Chains A and B, each alone.
Chain A
Amino acid sequence: EIVLTQSPATLSLSPGDRATLSCRASQSVSSYLAWYQQKPGQAPRLLIYDASNRATGIPARFSGSGSGTDFTLTISSLEPEDFAVYYCQQRSTWPLFGGGTKVEIK
């Protein structure tokens, strides 16, 4: 079973800052990695699939990169609505999620 480790667990930043979130897989997942955003009391929302493809309607400030075992989600300039928890997810034999990174207001 492939394990996804996200870091840091919490990221304290201010609006306008650049956010860099990391997701590391215990073995290669090629480019089959997705990112989701979850706000309190809401369901997760797809942001990125196949490591770097933005989902429909996702702002350009969100970008994904990486392949193999190391992946990054970058938010170029944080908007107030971006403070949330972010999960990475891979599908090897079945979908597995990372533990999440909380982006909080500093």
Chain B
Amino acid sequence: QVQLQESGPGLVKPSQTFSLTCTVSGASINSTIYYWSWIRQHPGKGLEWIGYIYYSGSTYYNPSLESRVTISVDTSKNQFSLKLTSVTAADTAVYYCARERLFPHWIDPWGQGTLVTVSS
């Protein structure tokens, strides 16, 4: 059974950078079929896709966040990470990592999510 688990700071100050890590178990991140994604959900709101990475390191980002986002992968640890720079209160959200397949397209499973609060 594939499981994903996010880890990282729960509180970040405005203008700073935060990083989250997703640890994948039950599957190899070296898969040629799947991509590894980050998605966030603002409190009480809908879902916003942030971007994904392939095991080779190629990435694709949501254009609205592209200038501040970096997703990286560590295949030796079966982990991938999200870095978001210059954060503001608008970046307060639950951040999910997930496995994504392009053809057919679906996102599943998801990690349990981790709340990141941006506040001084």
Chain A residues in the interface with B (C-beta under 8 A): 32, 34, 36, 42-46, 49-50, 53, 55, 87, 89, 91, 94-100
Asked whether A34 lies within 8 Å of B113 as measured between CB atoms, the reply is no
CB distance from A77 to the nearest CB of B (A): 24
Given contacts A43-B112, A44-B107, A97-B46, 4 further A-B contacts (CB under 8 A): A32-B105, A49-B104, A55-B106, A91-B102
Majority-rule SS of B interface residues: strand
A89 to B108, CA, bound (A): 13
Asked whether A43 lies within 8 Å of B111 as measured between CB atoms, the reply is yes
Asked whether B62 lies within 8 Å of A43 as measured between CB atoms, the reply is no
Majority-rule SS of A interface residues: strand
Residues of chain A contacted by B37 (CB below 8 angstroms): 95
B1-32 contacts to A, CB under 8 A, are none
Question: Is B89 located at the chain interface by the 8 A CB criterion?
Answer: no
A50 to B102, CA, bound (A): 11
A78 to B63, CA, bound (A): 38
Given A43-B111, A44-B110, A45-B110, A98–B105 Cβ distance below 8 Å? no
Closest to A48 in B: B106
A100 to B42, CA, bound (A): 13
B97-120 contacts to A, CB under 8 A, are 98, 100, 102, 104-113
Asked whether A34 lies within 8 Å of B106 as measured between CB atoms, the reply is yes
Question: Is B33 located at the chain interface by the 8 A CB criterion?
Answer: no
Q: Contact size class for B?
A: 20 to 34
A sample of 13 inter-chain contacts (CB < 8 A) reads: A34-B105, A43-B96, A43-B98, A43-B112, A44-B47, A44-B107, A46-B108, A53-B104, A55-B108, A87-B47, A94-B49, A94-B63, A97-B46
A46 to B60, CA, bound (A): 22
Residues of chain B contacted by A44 (CB below 8 angstroms): 47, 96, 107, 110
Asked whether A98 lies within 8 Å of B46 as measured between CB atoms, the reply is yes
CB distance from A68 to the nearest CB of B (A): 16
Residues of chain A contacted by B104 (CB below 8 angstroms): 32, 49-50, 53
CB distance from B24 to the nearest CB of A (A): 15
